Amino acid sequence: MTGKFTVALAQVSPKLGLLKENLQLHLDTIRRAKSEGADLVVFPELSLTGYILQDLVPDVAIDPLNSPSLRQLLQGCRDIACVFGFVEISDRYNYYNAAAYVAEARIQHVHRKLYLPTYGMFDEMRFFAMGEKLRTVRTPFGPLGMLICEDLWHPSTLYLHVQDGARVVVTLSSSPGRGVRTHEGFQTSQGWETLLKALSQFYTVYNLYANRAGIEDGAYFPGGSMVVGPVGEVIARSQTSGEDLVLAELDLDEIRRARLFTPVLRDERLDLTLRELTRIVRQRSQS
């Protein structure tokens, strides 16, 4: 593959707790993304299950490596790569808010959400276990980083992904809209856009943000899925808050050029960061 490829952000509205219906939604969307020429399609957080699951978590959990219900979805990803969100049950019977990267009809990588928001309207830590690892996955688009929603609000996650070689980072999200007292749309949507633009620019990477549509018990998911390029520019964004498929062509040469003009990544001093972090952690544990 050349350095150019097409991505599709699937801004879908899954049904709460209905795996079968949501699988069909994934199959249909993957088919459509393929027909639009996409090489990679990205679904939102918990796209297979819906978001505010609460006590439904164990009922919709799957073991991704041994799940008959996933077979059809994997078969649909022979000539397209796909990232989707689901509830993973581990061999220790922990439940994770997880995302899978599928290519060549096989799950290549699973990311478990690291930061589980448990404040305000969110209650994830009550129902999910925290992920413990952050790894990029090897793809035809170079090393790919995966994050889930709140993960991105801890910029250390993106920092690590990029230092680990990621050129493209996908963030799966189910972020409800909040704050209607400015002229620019939801305050939360503005927050996401600011964050994505700034982080793309800081780290000279492509950030792919797939947020869901729909409503769960009055929590309104306003979409706003977007692709932000390595100098912080919005390359494509959803024009609707409803269901949508956002397509964008990515060019890895853009990253090369961005890093030529702004070589902040080259100049980053991991040893310094590590040294100071080690000191801070030690001091905190002593105080």
Task: Provide, rounded to whole angstroms, the least separation between the CB of residue 185 and another protein.
Answer: 6
Beta bridge partners of residue 109, listed in sequence order? 101
Binding of another protein at residue 54 (CB under 8 A)?
Answer: yes
Q: Which range, of 52-60, 83-91, 138-146, 265-273, touches another protein by CB under 8 A?
A: 52-60
Binding of another protein at residue 117 (CB under 8 A)?
Answer: no
If you ran DSSP here, which 8-state letter would residue 142 be given?
A: S
Task: Provide, rounded to whole angstroms, the least separation between the CB of residue 242 and another protein.
Answer: 8
Binding of another protein at residue 79 (CB under 8 A)?
Answer: no
Q: Which range, of 36-44, 51-59, 65-73, 144-152, touches another protein by CB under 8 A?
A: 51-59
CB 175 within 8 A of CB 152: no
In angstroms, the CA 247 to CA 73 distance is: 21
- Residues annotated as catalytic are 45, 113, 149
Q: Which range, of 64-72, 129-137, 177-185, 248-256, touches another protein by CB under 8 A?
A: 177-185
Residues whose CB falls within 8 Å of the CB of residue 62, separated by 6 or more in sequence, listed in order: 19, 48, 69, 70, 86, 87, 88, 89
In angstroms, the CA 207 to CA 231 distance is: 11
- Residue 18 or 107: the one with the smaller Cβ distance to another protein is 18
Closest CA to 170 of 219, 102, 220: 102
Both tokens of 47, joined, read 């796209």
CB 271 within 8 A of CB 163: no
Task: Provide, rounded to whole angstroms, the least separation between the CB of residue 228 and another protein.
Answer: 22
Binding of another protein at residue 17 (CB under 8 A)?
Answer: yes
Closest CA to 171 of 86, 64, 44, 13: 44
Binding of another protein at residue 254 (CB under 8 A)?
Answer: no
Task: Provide, rounded to whole angstroms, the least separation between the CB of residue 274 and another protein.
Answer: 37
Task: Give 3-state DSSP helix, strand, coil % of the chain, rounded to 5.
Answer: 35, 25, 40
In angstroms, the CA 2 to CA 253 distance is: 10
Q: 9: number of CA atoms within 13 Å, CB side?
A: 34
Q: Which range, of 53-61, 143-151, 166-174, 245-253, touches another protein by CB under 8 A?
A: 53-61
Q: Quick one: which of 183, 266, 269, 284 contacts another protein (CB under 8 A)?
A: 183
Task: Provide, rounded to whole angstroms, the least separation between the CB of residue 127 and another protein.
Answer: 8
Number of amino acids touching another protein (CB under 8 A): 25
CB 40 within 8 A of CB 245: no
- Residue 174 or 201: the one with the smaller Cβ distance to another protein is 174
Site string for another protein, 231-250 (x = CB under 8 A): ----------xx--------
List residues binding another protein (CB under 8 A).
Answer: 15-18, 52, 54-56, 177, 180-186, 214-218, 220, 222, 241-242
